[in-house]
């Protein structure tokens, strides 16, 4: 008799954007290992992600990373539950590298295959566990999750595995994208979110006024394009020398505008659904001010507030593995017809009517 079903880890592959990542994850959320290769240095000279470069780098990085994680953990092909791969949403060329690799490996090693929605990975990331992290006592379904990164700014009601209700989303740009643009304009590098965060440490949050969009009562959608336009005007009016001189104040005030909106909408979503547990995930959740404001909100409302550690918030394969192994054990496998998709499937979410 082989090992009991569900006792082995899944091999997860994430290549939806610019990070190549692999992980070994168990059904209870325990992460044996996660290994990622960042491409920031390759894209930095262009001030943003160049899709063709991203696909090419995934091709270079992926198989060596899988080999490395097997060596590091003493895992082999015959000790896996299956293979999970992000197949949606994302850059099509990047997704293609992961999907074709996963399909081939599944065929060669006769392992079950499961395609995962990247956003679902972000939403369930708080269930991941390792020697340094475990979600706080009392954490569980249902909860409201704000998934906020360079590609998405979405509010969900997470009721269970495969039960996600979209509560609100950005009508234009993602919050991370706004951070990155702003950073570029004031002469910080790429990706800019973390640099704006750092520069804000010695700035005043009320030095400049940046607009907060869609704040009318009851609205839980987001819009950041107006903030971008207003920022461009503020910077142009100040001129290069003054922008450089007032960088800290500009960053702190800009960051406060973004965080104000994110926290207010999260608060409204929590109140509307009455769930009492709120999660912030995605790359922007690294933001120190957002983390501060989330814990203040949780304290004020007596809610459980969870931000998974950074390694599970930024794009990573561990979150894909967690979703993949839940699906596999529910019997939701894919076959060789699995293909990459630039957008999520309509069936991925229930839309609030
Ligand atoms: O989840 P992620 O790694 O990749 C995407 O799916 O986009 O998120 C990357 C985004 C970038 O826009 C980056 O500027 C932003 O997260 N980010 C931050 C911080 N660290 C990363 N934004 C604000 N403050 C930070 N500390
Ligand atoms: Zn992401």
Q: Whose CA is nearest to atom 23 of ligand 1?
A: 193
Q: Which residues pair with 165 in a beta bridge?
A: 157, 350
pLDDT of residue 352: 58
pLDDT of residue 4: 62
Instruction: Specify the pairing of strand 304-306 against strand 277-281.
Output: parallel
The pLDDT tens digits of the residues spanning 190-214 come to: 879 999 999 999 999 999 999 999 9
Is-contact 139 126, C-beta < 8 A?
A: yes
Is-contact 129 30, C-beta < 8 A?
A: yes
Question: Using CB atoms within 10 A of its CB, is residue 189 exposed (0-12), middle (13-18) or buried (19+)?
Answer: middle
pLDDT of residue 246: 97
Of the residues 191, 196, 200, which should be mutated to test ligand 1's pocket, given the most ligand atoms within 8 Å of the CB?
Answer: 191
Question: Quick one: which atom of ligand 1 is closest to the CA of 150?
Answer: 7
And the tokens for 210? Answer: 């940046």
The pLDDT tens digits of the residues spanning 238-295 come to: 999 999 999 999 999 999 999 999 999 999 999 999 999 999 999 999 999 999 999 9
Which ligand is in closest contact with the Cα of 14?
Answer: 2
Is-contact 14 86, C-beta < 8 A?
A: yes
Q: Whose CA is nearest to atom 13 of ligand 1?
A: 193
Q: Which of 119, 173, 126 is nearest to 349 (CA)?
A: 119
**Cα dist from 130 to 28, 133, 177, 249, whole Å:** 11, 5, 30, 38
Question: Quick one: which atom of ligand 1 is closest to the CA of 177?
Answer: 12
pTM (2 d.p.): 0.92
Question: Quick one: which atom of ligand 1 is closest to the CA of 149?
Answer: 8
DSSP one-letter code for 126: G
Which ligand is in closest contact with the Cα of 116?
Answer: 2
Residues of the chain with pLDDT under 70: 1-6, 352-353
Residues in contact with ligand 1 by the CB-under-6-Å rule are: 17, 149-151, 176, 179-180, 191-194, 197, 282-284, 286-287, 314-315
Q: Is 13 helix (H, G, I), strand (E, B) or coil?
A: strand
Q: Which of 262, 177, 245, 236 is nearest to 207 (CA)?
A: 245
Give the integer Cα–Cα distance in Å for 116 and 241. Answer: 47
**Residue 71 alpha carbon to ligand 2 centre in Å:** 27
**Residue 189 alpha carbon to ligand 1 centre in Å:** 13
**Residue 23 alpha carbon to ligand 1 centre in Å:** 20
Q: Which of 169, 170, 349, 165 is nearest to 275 (CA)?
A: 165
């Amino acid at each position: 008799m082989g090992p009991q079903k569900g006792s082995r880890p899944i091999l997860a592959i994430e290549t939806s954007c610019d990070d190549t990542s692999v992980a070994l994850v168990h059904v209870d959320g325990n992460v044996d290992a996660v290994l990622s290769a960042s491409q920031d240095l390759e894209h930095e000279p262009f001030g943003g992600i160049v899709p063709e470069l991203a696909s090419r780098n995934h091709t270079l990085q992926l198989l060596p990373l899988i080999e490395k994680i097997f060596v590091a953990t003493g895992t082999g092909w015959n000790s896996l539950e299956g293979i999970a791969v992000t197949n949606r949403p994302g850059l099509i060329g990047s997704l293609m590298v992961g999907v074709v690799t996963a399909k081939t490996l599944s065929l060669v090693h006769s392992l079950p295959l499961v395609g995962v929605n990247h956003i679902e990975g972000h939403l369930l990331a708080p269930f991941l566990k390792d020697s340094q992290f475990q979600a706080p006592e009392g954490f569980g379904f249902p909860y409201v999750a704000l998934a906020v990164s360079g590609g998405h700014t979405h509010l969900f009601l997470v009721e269970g595995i495969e039960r996600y209700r979209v509560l609100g989303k950005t009508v234009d740009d993602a919050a991370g994208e706004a951070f990155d643009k702003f950073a570029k304009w004031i002469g910080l590098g790429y990706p800019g979110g973390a640099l704006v965060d750092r520069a804000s440490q010695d700035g005043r949050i009320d030095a400049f006024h940046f607009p907060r969009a869609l704040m009318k009562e009851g609205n839980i959608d987001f819009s950041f394009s107006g903030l971008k336009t207003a920022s461009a005007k503020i910077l142009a009016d100040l001129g290069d020398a003054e922008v450089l001189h007032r960088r800290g104040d500009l960053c702190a005030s800009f960051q406060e505008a973004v965080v104000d909106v994110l926290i207010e909408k999260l608060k409204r979503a929590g109140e509307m659904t009455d769930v009492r547990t709120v999660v912030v995930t995605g790359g922007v959740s690294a933001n120190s001010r957002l983390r501060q404001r989330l814990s203040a909100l949780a304290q004020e409302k007596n809610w459980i507030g969870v931000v998974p550690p950074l390694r599970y918030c930024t794009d990573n394969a561990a979150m894909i593995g967690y979703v993949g192994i839940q699906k596999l054990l529910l019997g939701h496998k894919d076959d060789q017809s699995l293909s990459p998709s630039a957008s999520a499937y309509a069936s991925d979410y229930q839309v609030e009517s």
